[in-house]
Amino acid sequence: MSRIGRQPITIPAGVKVTIDKGTVKVEGPKGQKLQVDYHPNMLVELDTAKNVINVKRPDDERLNRALHGLTRTLVANMVEGVTTGFRKVLKVEGIGYQARMDGKDTVVLSVGFANAIRLSPPEGVTVEVAKDSVTITVSGADKQKVGQFASEIRASRKPEPYKGKGIRYETEVVRRKEGKSFASGG
């Protein structure tokens, strides 16, 4: 059995879960709504007595084993997203590199190109740029959308290994390379 798939998902207070014809809908206390369509082989059950969600699989076929843990993780991420949400923090490093907000919904990145890069987050994702213009916080209820938009920001100027300039995740460690060495040859 999948160790992840076997674990029940506890439903916190204020969260409303609906399971209907292959779709799980989760509504949070702040009004966020998320839904996911799961594979028809999986059986997702809502146990209202214990206030948990259980994901079960019909047999031990390879596809069903893979889907078991995946389905449970997707539903658990939705429950966590509507209660606490997800955050990704990025740092902009380099002389003259900066980020700023243009209005409420557009991030403008000045990262060494002739033109500034303008990125708009998808619906349900909020972006904040700190006063120092080098810290970008991407947050939202949908883990996939938050991660995807943070990845798009990072991809606009990946950190380079010689000077470390570019956009990186807060906890990311960039392996540095040594530059050219000019030895006096004889």
Give residue 3's pLDDT. 85
One-letter-per-residue 3-state SS of 79-118: HHHHHCCEEEEEEEECCCCEEEECCCCCEEEECCCCCCEE
Angle at Cα 69 formed by Cα 39 and Cα 78, nearest 5°? Answer: 75
Residues 7 and 29 in one domain: yes
The residue out of 28, 52, 83 marking a domain boundary is 83
Residues 78 and 92 in one domain: no
User: Looking at residue 50, which CATH number applies to its domain?
Assistant: 3.90.930.12
- Is position 72 within any domain? yes
pLDDT tens per residue across all 186 residues of the chain:
568 888 999 999 999 999 998 999 999 988 889 999 999 999 999 998 999 999 999 999 999 999 999 999 999 999 999 999 999 999 999 999 999 999 888 999 999 999 999 999 999 999 999 999 999 999 999 999 999 999 999 999 999 999 989 999 999 888 888 888 876 655
Tally of domains within the chain = 2
Residues 127 and 160 in one domain: yes
Q: Is 150 exposed, middle or buried (0-12, 13-18, 19+ CB in 10 A)?
A: buried
Give per-residue pLDDT as tens, 38-59. Answer: 999 999 999 989 999 999 999 9
Residues 60 and 21 in one domain: yes
- The percent of residues above 70 in pLDDT, for the chain, comes to 97
Give residue 5's pLDDT. 87
SS3 content of the chain, % helix, strand, coil (to 5): 20, 35, 45
Query: What residues make up the domain containing 44?
Result: 3-83
- Give the separation between CA 73 and CA 2, rounded to whole angstroms: 12
Q: Which residues lie closer than 8 Å to 132 by C-beta, 6 or more apart? A: none
- Is position 20 within any domain? yes
Residues 113 and 142 in one domain: yes
The residue out of 51, 83, 115 marking a domain boundary is 83
Neighbours of 109 (CB within 10 A): 21
Structure tokens at 121: 């987050």
DSSP 59: S
- Is position 98 within any domain? yes
